[in-house]
Amino acid sequence: PETGSARPGAERKRTVALTHPDRLYWPDAGITKDGLADYYAAIWPRIAPFIVDRPLALLRCPEGIDGPRFFQKNAWKGMNAHIRTLDDPATDTVEHLIGIHDLDGLMGLVQSAALEIHPWGAACRDWERPDQLVMDLDPGEGVAWERVIDAARDVREHLAASGLTPFVKTSGGKGLHVVAPLKPEADWEMVKAFSRTLAQTMAADCPDRYIATITKAKRHGKILLDYLRNQRGATSVAPYSTRARVGAPVSMPLSWEELGQITGSAQFTVNNAFTRLTTLRADPWAAFHTARRPIQP
């Protein structure tokens, strides 16, 4: 039963042995491997639907954020036993992908120094039909934070006009992610084309504010509408995932109502996430999983 503790469920992490629990993953923020396990054990019910049974890419930092880092997309030799291997049905390579099935799997990721968790936009129950659309807003140099908020609201309006129900989160880096839950009906090609059209339409309407092409050098003062999160095999950071950056920021789900009060993408961190969770009256993304709508071509 709940004890009213600020870290509900934290004791459950003990089911998976952590070596070097006192290793400092974020030295500046004072977050150890054990502290990361506490964070994920507490956040588990919220993060689970976004990371369970879907291919994951991991940013691994064995010595913490100040040491070497590498992006891991494939299962490795000696991988923690609680982490599952997945086989992409579209390829016959010998490489396995990475997945988790339960909290033990998430603790296996902590044990493996996965400081960022980046899922695909499709779940294993249907690899070919994405169940979310992500518009990744990447502000160039010189873009004020308020303009990023405006852009997120702009994306929201466009998606809502298409019959979708978009949600917003900080990335924990520089920008915002607008995420629309999808009924997994359209395939990757359709979802990518839909998001490309959205980005290109917005860039054509407001060329001084937005660009839709990554290769375009002229990003200064503009926001890149990065629609390429929506292609097969692409990933974006999971809601509630930590980031391997100074301050131990997390990608935090927000309500549209509070967005105007948010001061930056790295505002929410491992250290203040518990307070946010216990003081918020409701999960700002509570309706996410019941708001799935199909893409209209």
Binding stretches for ligand ATP (CB under 6 A): 71, 118, 136, 138, 171, 173-175, 226, 235-237, 265
Cα distance between residue 2 and residue 97, in whole Å: 36
At 253, which amino acid appears?
P
CB of 173 to ligand ATP, least distance (A): 2
Tell me which of Mn ion, ligand ATP, none is bound by residue 221, counting a contact when its beta carbon lies within the kind-specific cut-off of 5 to 8 angstroms: none
Among 38, 131, 136, 154, binds Mn ion (CB under 5 A): 136
Residue 116 binds to Mn ion (criterion: CB under 5 A): no
CB of 184 to ligand ATP, least distance (A): 20
Of 214 and 287, CB closest to ligand ATP: 214
Of 159 and 266, CB closest to ligand ATP: 266
Of 100 and 155, CB closest to Mn ion: 155
Q: Which of residues 188-227 bind Mn ion (CB under 5 A)?
A: 226
- For residue 110, with 0-12 CB atoms within 10 Å meaning exposed, 13-18 middle and 19 or more buried, which class applies? buried
Cα distance between residue 146 and residue 151, in whole Å: 9
Cβ atoms of 87 and 97 within 8 Å: the answer is yes
Tracing tokens 């036993």 back to the chain, one arrives at 81
User: What does the CA dihedral 54, 23, 40, 132 come to, rounded to 10 degrees?
Assistant: -30
CB of 54 to ligand ATP, least distance (A): 13
